Structure 1
Amino acid sequence: MAIVFHALANPNRFLKLARPATAICLWAGLALIAFGCWAGLTQTPPDYLQGETVRIMYIHVPSAWLGMAGWSSLAIASFSYLVWRHPLAAVAARAIAMPGALFTALCLITGSIWGRPTWGTWWQWDGRLTSMLLLFFVYLAYMALARADRERGGDARIPALFGIAGTVLLPIIHYSVIWWNTLHQGPSITLSGSSIAESILWPLWFTLAGFTLFFAAIVLMRMRAELATQKAEARMRRLTHA
């Protein structure tokens, strides 16, 4: 397993795979998002309680998923960097942070829009909303820390440790609706099934897959851009010392 990881972590091998993978993820993701949103807006009935506002689900749920999955991926990349010292893992962690923060912010925004007609308020300091807001701030803190570490010539260990430590928020977010009395509804989709009617639920799978592929495309683009920048900087240093 370690041998495979070392081979895939080679920047040249990564770039050969990343170039076509970026295009595939981008266009497939956009197509799935477009179809899912069209189906969610035109091919599903309104909810018997929430009416038309339930359609925000097709954006809100993928955003919440990617906010949490993004930090999980960032933590895995950070752990890989600390264990195997592959610079590509640190590049991956930095590349994940920005889209992770954007989707977390989108989750908070769509959640507030959804909450206004459903709960009668734009915001409530309950467990789920507050913990998700904290995750957004943790993303911002990681990006600031990673940037400062690079500017001072650090070895990326401190941001990696921060990335792993931040995972403590993930179970808090997940179980917040169970642990505390909250306006936010409990888990609607679990391993045992879904409490959402299938006539409303089915477009969600398309937007969920589409936004996930779109997220992957953004991460790959950012990784390729950073590797290109590093290559250009290394070339400039060689010319300077020539």
Structure 2
Amino acid sequence: MVFGLANPDRFMRFTRPLMPVVWAAAVGLLLAGTWLSFTAPEDYQQLDTVRIMFVHVPAAWLGLAAYVALGVSSFFALVFRHPLADAAARAAALPGAVFTALALATGSLWGKPMWGAWWVWDARLTSVVVLFLFYVAYMALRAAIDDEAKAARAAAVLGLVGLVNLPIVKFSVDWWNTLHQPASLLRAEGPSMTAAHLTPLLVMGLAYMMLFTALWLTDIRTEVRRRRVLTMRARAAQEA
């Protein structure tokens, strides 16, 4: 089923009825998550600052998840030279960069009252900056090369190289002595957060995932249409 959707025509037919559902789910979850975030009680240590986490943590999750989508799509585009995989990699770059930038910005807003500094160059923060730079470099490389086929191959290689940074981001707090707090959810002894704070965090995480999915599919569909138009123009020019 999944490999069948690699055909652009099948992909377009399959995703057409899904688009309004995915967008509606994203908007609904965002509204619910925002309401839960503002009505959640203060944290006994972080006070009202805890509400920043409901934006920061899901943004960081999606920054990583979007790069996984970019890297896996780049692999299929480079190895199998499938245009839809290249379109998927290209479509993941901008939303991923935005989510990563949001994670960095909200992390700084949280860090000032909690750490007393807007920014510290510890392993987690530095590796997330590197992740953001990989997104920027991927988009810049595609824009810098006029030949789309060469741009796609070069960007795919860069996208695969960037995958090396993902485990560094994930495990940096475990591998090095870092100011950033360790994982609060995926722990052997269970989440360290109370249900009052865990619920809005998970709802916002799901909302961000649905929003990325909606943006990603929309961008892929737009790219497929763009390439079809270019192909039609090229054929018309040849016939003329």
TM-score between both structures, scaled by the size of structure 1: 0.94
Q: Match of 1:218? A: 215
Q: Match of 1:47? A: 43
In structure 1, distance between residues paired with 2:127 and 2:169: 6
1:25 and 2:9 matched: no
In structure 1, distance between residues paired with 2:217 and 2:47: 38
1:182 and 2:149 matched: no
- Trace 1:137-156 onto structure 2 (pairs within 5 A): 137-149=133-145, 151-155=146-150, 156=152
SS in 1 for 2:105: helix
In structure 2, distance between residues paired with 1:61 and 1:22: 26
Q: Match of 1:34? A: 31
Q: Match of 2:128? A: 132
Q: Match of 1:77? A: 73
Q: 1:37 is matched by which residue type in structure 2?
A: T
SS in 1 for 2:118: coil
Measure how far apart 1:19 and its partner are. 1.8
In structure 2, distance between residues paired with 1:6 and 1:185: 40
Runs of 4 or more, structure 1, over 3 Å off, are none
Closer/same/farther in 2, CA of residues 220 and 168 from structure 1, 3 Å limit: same
- The structure 2 residue matched to 1:15, chosen from 5, 12, 15, is 12
Measure how far apart 1:5 and its partner are. 4.6
Q: 2:30 is matched by which residue type in structure 1?
A: I
Measure how far apart 1:88 and its partner are. 0.3
Measure how far apart 1:33 and its partner are. 1.1
SS in 1 for 2:120: coil
Structure 2, unaligned runs of 5 or more: none
TM-score between both structures, scaled by the size of structure 2: 0.94
- The structure 2 residue matched to 1:68, chosen from 64, 67, 70, is 64
Q: 1:230 is matched by which residue type in structure 2?
A: R
Q: Match of 2:191? A: 194
Q: 1:101 is matched by which residue type in structure 2?
A: A
SS in 1 for 2:149: coil
- Paired residues in the alignment total 237
Q: 1:218 is matched by which residue type in structure 2?
A: L
Q: 1:20 is matched by which residue type in structure 2?
A: P
In structure 2, distance between residues paired with 1:144 and 1:119: 34
In structure 1, distance between residues paired with 2:2 and 2:174: 38
Q: 1:232 is matched by which residue type in structure 2?
A: V
In structure 1, distance between residues paired with 2:148 and 2:118: 43
In structure 2, distance between residues paired with 1:202 and 1:93: 31
Measure how far apart 1:210 and its partner are. 0.8
SS in 2 for 1:46: coil
Measure how far apart 1:191 and its partner are. 5.0
